[in-house]
Chains A and B, each alone.
Chain A
Amino acid sequence: EAQVTQNPRYLITVTGKKLTVTCSQNMNHEYMSWYRQDPGLGLRQIYYSMNVEVTDKGDVPEGYKVSRKEKRNFPLILESPSPNQTSLYFCASRRTGSNEQFFGPGTRLTVL
């Protein structure tokens, strides 16, 4: 089944404790991206990647890192999480040349 998976789905952590949210897709898509969703703000893009080893900042990259060492994986790293990073996070992927994005199920992160 074609899908985007994220782990964990839920995470409660404390300020300053490094964490990684994994994202993996099995559709051989070149383009992957991370969004955060906050009440009343819609979705905002954090980082995106056009292909392996190619990443770029989205609208709200501060406090986040990403890497794209393999085509299928695009982890989101929070080196020192803060409470304002409490949010619902979505990973998405699409094939280059297509505009249909496939979204992961979301990761609900709470930083205390």
Chain B
Amino acid sequence: DTGVSQNPRHKITKRGQNVTFRCDPISEHNRLYWYRQTLGQGPEFLTYFQNEAQLEKSRLLSDRFSAERPKGSFSTLEIQRTEQGDSAMYLCASSLVGAGGSNTGELFFGEGSRLTVL
């Protein structure tokens, strides 16, 4: 399968613990995005990378959240000192943006990592 892969698919943790999610994008894609989706809502943008550079972060991304894409391939999203309000589905997406910013506008999403904070 050459789609976007996310792990783990489901994480249950106690409040105050740290969790890390991993995303493996489609291999030739240079952009990688993280979104958060709560029950009954659409996905909300968190952050995105162009290759290894993190270019934008949403105000939703508090200082307990950190995302990395060290070699411009896979990415990790870490949440420190989890709170019950962090319970959500965390979605990763990737896309290919050409020189000059040209692209099809399509993001390719993984199946998501569901976080439950008890």
Are A and B subunits of one complex? no
Which residues does A use to contact B, with CB under 8 Å?
A: none
